[in-house]
Structure 1
Amino acid sequence: MTSKLEQLRAMTTVVADTGDIEAVARLKPVDCTTNPTIVLKALGTDMFAEVFDEAISWGKSKGGASEAVTAAIADRLAISVGAELTKLVPGRVSTEVDADLSFDTKGSIEKARGIIAAYKERGIEKDRILIKLASTWEGIRAAEVLQKEGIDCNLTLLFSKAQAIACAEAKVFLISPFVGRILDWYKKSTGETYTAETDPGVLSVRAIYNYYKVNGIETIVMGASFRNAGEIEALAGCDRLTISPALLDELDADKGTLTRKLSADKTEADPLVSLDEKAFRWAMNEDPMATEKLAEGIRSFAKDLGTLRSLVAKKLSA
């Protein structure tokens, strides 16, 4: 009997949610996704010690205001981690736009173009990269512009159907609806215990998947942020799932039968909806879970970006 991981790969594109080079080489996902938290973890390993030193030397050679140099080095480090991952996966590597630009459409567009240019300098074309943006109204508008330029985007920190609808209208390449963080909110809010079939995060992704498929929307649905293997199994058949190495290992060790749960030809009627800015913001206002988790996620990524920059500043002054 093949493992549940192998069975999952037969029905879903498996993505690794990590910057752990050894884990990626061992588990062989199709794509990889990174964020400031993952970049920080990667840079804490011996494997990236030389990369860190190179980036510091590069920054010192550039000169300029210390704050700008620090930010540029942090950007270079994120690209370095992403570049290493492109050597190991046949598909895409997601690289995140700074969280502090989550409400800045113009700034997000400029940063995304810079990321693509930095990869190109290393011989990595844009068809190997996904630009990660927070699923704010401003982030979605930035993605709309970038998609028209042929720069594919991954809209992250997505917690609601309203966000998914707005992303679809912007013709975003891929969305990352978060499962585990939705479950976290409901467990704290209600005090209830949930099974994989009643998990609010699982149900949210299933609803988004159904809406996309029944309406012929091409945007890829990639479930993310899992708390346990049961959530993953409950979404077997989703377009893509981005999974941590620990859960990938758990699925790889399990020789049980994995049943397909999602299929494009088994959808229920769900009328197409259009959302302007007013309707989008009202829908988010009426969804405390989505509003709170989006804000919390942005703060968390911004904090980790700040930690990375502080680490760079210490190296520069050493």
Structure 2
Amino acid sequence: MSNLLQQLKQQSTVVADTGDLDSIRRFSPQDATTNPSLILQAVQSGKYNQQVQAILHDVRDHAGTLDEAVDEACDRLVVAMGAMILQQVPGRVSTEVNARLSFDTLASLAKARRLIELYAQAGIPRERILIKLAATWEGIRAAEVLEKEGIQCNLTLIFSFAQARACAEAGAYLISPFVGRILDWYRKADPTRSYAPADEPGVHSVQRIYRYFRRLEYPTVVMGASFRNSGEILALAGCDRLTISPKLLDELASTEGDLQPVLADSGEREARPAPISQAQFRWEMNEDAMATEKLAEGIRGFEADQLKLEALLREQLAAIQAAGGTA
């Protein structure tokens, strides 16, 4: 009998939710996805000091102000790490637009295009990149423009059906509905209640989105994310993609059993409604306290780690400048 990870790979595309190259090599996922928190962890590990120093020396010589140099260094770093990841996976890597741009469509577009430009300079075609944007109304509008330009997107921090629907209607290539963070909210709201993995509200959310997309024949890929336990993953077997942390990948790889698919296209079809309006989107988000709170919390969390990364790079860049470029 094969292990659960091997069986899962037969039913869903497995994506590594990590920037750690050793983990990616070990589990051989199709794709990988990163975010500011994962990039910060990778840099803090010390494994990429050589790449970081090379980037900082280069931006010191070519960027303008210190703030501009730090911003450019961050962009080059995420692209450099994306390029290294792509040497280990046959598919794509998701690269995230700065979370502080989540409510600015034009700035998100500019940053996304810059990241694609840097990848092109590294010889990596846009077909291997997914630009990752928070699924705010503004982020979804940016994705709509980018998709028309041939830049495919991963809309992240999906906590509500309204977000998922708006993304599909905008033509987003892929969405990442979160599972574990939804469970976190419900556990905090009612600490006395327990959930079996298959009955968790986050699992039900992804199942509802998947079935809706199939019934209305939206091509948008559904990639379950943010798992707290392997049971959540097994309850979504058959979902288009699942992005999984190294810890849970290891657990699945070391567990044998019989994994039956849960999600599949039923063949049922229905007509698509008129696209959701901005007013309706914002109202439905307003009515969903969990989605509103978790989206805001997720953006703040990514921004906090982005600021830590920038501070780390700023400190190292200052040291290089103080040493006259010899550090």
Shorter chain as denominator, the TM-score bin is over 0.9
Secondary structure in 2 matching 1:197: helix
Residue 230 (str. 1) matches residue 231 (str. 2): yes
> Does the alignment pair 1:108 with 2:108?
yes
- After superposition, the C-alpha distances for 1:28-68 in whole angstroms (9 at most, x for unaligned) are 00000000011111112343110011111011111411111
Instruction: With the length of structure 1 as denominator, give the TM-score of the two structures.
Output: 0.98
Shift in alpha-carbon separation, 1:182–1:96, aligned structure 2, 3 A? same
Task: Give the aligned partner of residue 196 of structure 1.
Answer: 197
Alignment partners' CA distance in 2, 1:177 and 1:273: 22
- Name the counterpart of 1:36: 36
Q: Matched residues in 2 for 1:226 and 1:266: separation?
A: 28
Whole-angstrom distance in 1 between the partners of 2:108 and 2:118: 15
Task: Give the equivalent residue in structure 2 for 1:249.
Answer: 250
* Mapped contact 2:230–2:252 kept (Cα < 8 A): yes
**Mapped contact 1:162–1:284 kept (Cα < 8 A):** yes
Is the partner of 1:138 in helix, strand or coil? Answer: helix
Please list the CA deviations of residues 236-287 of structure 1 after superposition, one character each: whole Å capped at 9, or x if unmatched.
0000000000100000001111111000126687964631100000000000
Asked if the contact 1:215–1:272 (Cα under 8 Å) also holds between the matched residues in 2, the reply is: no
Matched, 1:137 2:137: yes
| CA deviation profile, 1:191-245 (whole Å, cap 9, x unmatched) | 2111112100000000000100011110000000000000000000000000000
Name 2:323's counterpart in structure 1: none
Cα-Cα RMSD? 1.3
Q: Which residue of 2 aligns with 1:162?
A: 162
After superposition, give the CA deviation of every residue in 1:40-98 in whole Å (9 maximum; x if it has no partner).
11112343110011111011111411111111111111111111001000101000000
2:16 is matched with 16
What secondary structure sits across from 2:285 in the alignment? helix
Distance 2:78 2:226 in 1: 20
Deviation sequence 1:170-210 (CA, Å, 0-9, x none): 00000000000000001111221111121000000000001
Measure the CA separation in 2 of the matches of 1:247 and 1:267: 33
2:269, 2:263 → 1: CA distance? 12
- Which stretches of structure 1, 4 residues or more, deviate above 3 A after TM superposition? 266-273
Query: Residue 175 of structure 2 corresponds to which residue in structure 1?
Result: 175
1:210 touches 1:267 (CA, 8 Å); kept in 2?
no
CA distance in 2, matches of 1:267, 1:5: 29
Structure 2 counterpart of 1:238, one-letter code = C
Over 3 Å counting, the alpha-carbon distance change for 1:266 and 1:185 in structure 2 is farther
| Residue 309, structure 1, aligned to residue 310, structure 2 | yes
Superposed, which structure 2 residues align to 1:29-108 within 5 Å?
29-108=29-108
Any idea what SS the aligned residue of 1:47 has?
A: coil
- Stretches of structure 2 that go unaligned for 5 or more consecutive residues are 320-327
Corresponding residue for residue 2 of structure 1 = 2
Q: Is the 8 A contact 2:217 2:269 kept in 1?
A: no
* Structure 1 position 214 matched with structure 2 position 219: no
* Structure 1 CA distance for aligned equivalents of residues 272 and 76 of structure 2: 44
With normalisation by structure 2, the TM-score equals: 0.95
Aligned length in residues = 318
Aligned amino acid, residue 11 of structure 2: M
Measure the CA separation in 1 of the matches of 2:99 and 2:116: 17
What residue in structure 1 maps to residue 241 of structure 2? 240
